[in-house]
Amino acid sequence: MSDPIILLLFLVLLSSAEGAPLRQSFYSESCPGAETTVRDVVRRAMAREARAAASVMRLQFHDCFVNGCDGSVLLDETPEMAGEKAALSNINSLRSFEVVDEIKDALEMSCPGIVSCADILIMAARDAVFLSGGPKWEVKLGREDSLTASQEDSNGIMPSPRTNATSLIALFTKFNLSVQDLVALSGTHSIGQGRCFSIVFRLYNQSGSGLPDPAMDPQYWAELSRLCPLGGDEEVTGGLDATPQRFDNQYFKDLVRGRGFLNSDQTLTSLPETRKYVEIFSKNEKRFFEALVEGMIKLGDLQSGKPGEIRRNCRVVNGFSDDQLVKTK
């Protein structure tokens, strides 16, 4: 996707915000237990697998950047539609769709046809952060679910683990997100795991040099090379920071020391404008949390302005039957 098209997408997202206002406590009358239900299911998912917190949280990013926060990332592929789940940045990477299914099933039992899948992603991401030790904030709700998904748009927008800081700044700017937002939102990598697939080039052939990434701490390289040997299993995972189950500012402390797992993380120390915030957040967790909340709210404000619906099943638009789709776990 060319830059002018992405810019046009941003303008559509921005201009549509007034047409579909979001607000706090949106379900206070129509489904008063909605936020509690979401949090309870996320808590149970984390009890089964700690990694679920990061996986659920990540879904908001991959949804909102592609045509706004509309639940399109949750749609399964159909013969007529190439879904976003198979996009380059998502395939064999996004997970915990079954947690969203569990939340939706619970909400449909108590409040059928009321709570959108798009709003579920926003609430679940907030709860995943909070239940992992991070900040808590009030989310704005009232989104509708998309009627389609676009693998092409996802491929054209979502950054890869190899993306550098300059490209990341350019991308976030097009969505009216600042450098501070970029660095703070990158800090969601405070929790979770990354695959060897995403870092083998850093370990053995950075920029085609045949050498490791020079920005990487040598001791950290030794640790990662044991985890991800050349020619080894690229589906093996490692923590994105030294405390991958605790939402804190350790991620930024690691970046300062050259111990960022992904290239798209460590690159934040390569430019003065991004390194400034890395250093601030590494020293002041409260500042990080405040900036994160601001960035998450701005990210959640992205909307497409296109007609939507409240899906009964987050994987399919209303009116489709399960046998028309191939489910992605």
Q: What does the pLDDT look like over 155-194, one tens digit per residue?
A: 999 998 889 999 999 999 999 999 999 999 999 999 999 9
**Catalytic: which of 39, 51, 58, 62?**
62
Task: Categorize the per-residue pLDDT at 321 as very low, low, confident or very high, splitting at 50, 70 and 90.
Answer: low
In angstroms, rounded to a whole number, what is the distance separating the alpha carbons of residues 152 and 155? 5
- Is 93 a known ligand-binding residue? no
| Average pLDDT of the segment spanning 47-72 | 96
- Is 290 a known ligand-binding residue? no
Q: What backbone phi and psi angles, to 5 degrees, belong to 229?
A: -65, 150
pLDDT attached to residue 20: 57
User: What residue has token string 């909340």?
Assistant: 293
pLDDT attached to residue 237: 95
Task: Categorize the per-residue pLDDT at 328 as very low, low, confident or very high, splitting at 50, 70 and 90.
Answer: very low
Least confident of 232-236, 298-302, 317-321: 317-321
Strand partners, 145: 309
Q: Is 54 helix (H, G, I), strand (E, B) or coil?
A: helix
Task: Categorize the per-residue pLDDT at 8 as very low, low, confident or very high, splitting at 50, 70 and 90.
Answer: very low
- Is 248 a known ligand-binding residue? yes
Secondary structure percentages of the chain, helix, strand, coil, to 5:
55, 5, 45
- Is 328 a known ligand-binding residue? no
User: How far apart are the two ends of the chain, measured CA to CA in Å?
Assistant: 28
Q: Which H/E stretch holds residue 149?
A: none
157 is catalytic: no
